[in-house]
Amino acid sequence: MARQSLRSPLGRAIGLGSAKHGADHWWAQRVSAVALILLGLWFAASLIAHAGADHGAVVAWLRNPITAILMLLLVATTFYHAALGLQVVIEDYVHSEWLKVSSLVAMWLISMGLAVAGIFAVLRIAFGG
């Protein structure tokens, strides 16, 4: 009897096995979520503490190295987590193939662009530009 294989005939013909990356998206979403529990609560508390604060007070707060580091982590993690989430939403609800792919490309480019803008702003304040 021929050896039974769990692989589909197409999969065998193409010859590309599992890339072992099937759970990467899922895992990245969870790791960034755990980071955002802490960073998010810190940010919410900071915003409350600076409610109605003027420019000088907010800049002085962002110049503190600990604040700057946490804010950089917050911006980077937030946009990563948001893009991973929006990706699933687009994949679930956009059914036209070309519209889905172009939405995904646009969403990732906009997310990364906004992240870099936010990071640059924090660095500029932190280094006193």
Partner 1 sequence: MTPVERPLSPFLIYKPQLTSVLSFSNRAAGVALAVGTIFLVWWLVAAATGERAFATAQWFFGSWLGLLLLLGWTLAFFFHLLNGVRHLFWDVGMGFDLRTTYASGWAVVAGSFALTVLAFAAGVAMRG
89 lies in the binding site for partner 1 (CB under 8 A): yes
* Stretch binding partner 1 (CB under 8 A), from 7-15, 16-24, 51-59, 98-106: 51-59
For the stretch 76-79, contacts whose Cβ atoms lie closer than 8 Å and that sit 24 or more positions apart, written own/partner, are: 76/115, 76/119, 77/32, 77/35, 77/36, 77/39, 78/36, 78/39, 78/115, 79/111, 79/112, 79/114, 79/115, 79/118
Residues sharing a CB contact under 8 Å with residue 37, sequence separation 6 or more, in sequence order: none
Backbone angles phi, psi at 22, to 5 degrees: -60, -35
Instruction: In angstroms, give the least distance from the CB of 8 to partner 1.
Output: 27
Site of tokens 């893009």: 83
Restricted to residues 3-22, the positions that interact with partner 1 (CB under 8 A) are none
39 lies in the binding site for partner 1 (CB under 8 A): no
36 lies in the binding site for partner 1 (CB under 8 A): yes
Q: Which of 3, 20, 55, 95 binds partner 1 (CB under 8 A)?
A: 55
Applying CB under 8 A, the residues found at the interface with partner 1 are 30, 33-34, 36-37, 40-41, 44, 47-52, 55, 58-59, 62, 71, 75, 78-79, 82, 85-86, 89, 114, 117-118, 120-122, 124-125, 129
